[in-house]
Amino acid sequence: MSSITYSERIKIETFCELGLSNIQMGVRLNRSPSTISYELSRCQPYQAELAQTDAEYINLVPKLFPKAKVVVDRFHIVQMMNRSLNSTRIQVMK
């Protein structure tokens, strides 16, 4: 399936405000819960505009700088993993 669109990101933000689970969001958007979980890990609290900007940046860098590498340091990988685990834990506890 293709990348998440801006309109889907706005819906995800609304679903978060309504307290829907990743599974419920996935069903409504025809996406897997893991895709929703990954998308929600972009920023906490989830903001559609910030997630869209992040996605555009990641896609734009290789086009503008073909030899550049996007580097993610260990701290941010661990931080993203912790946020994702916390988000999943909270959803399971609801």
The token pair that represents 33 in the structure block: 């819960």
Domain contains 34: yes
Per the prediction, the chain carries an average pLDDT of: 89
* Residue in the structure block whose two tokens are 């990348």: 3
- Which regions of 1-94 does DSSP assign to beta strands (E)? none
d(CA 54, CA 43): 10
Residue range 7-12: average pLDDT?
96
pLDDT value for 39:
93
Phi, psi at residue 44, to the nearest 5°? -130, 125
Domain contains 1: no
Domain contains 29: yes
Domain contains 71: yes
Instruction: Write the pLDDT tens digit of every residue in 29-63.
Output: 999 999 999 999 888 889 999 899 888 888 888 89
- Assess contact for 35 and 26: CB atoms under 8 A: yes
> Which of 41 and 28 is assigned the larger pLDDT?
28
d(CA 36, CA 9): 10
Domain range spanning residue 87? 6-93
| Counted domains in the chain | 1
- pTM, entire model: 0.67
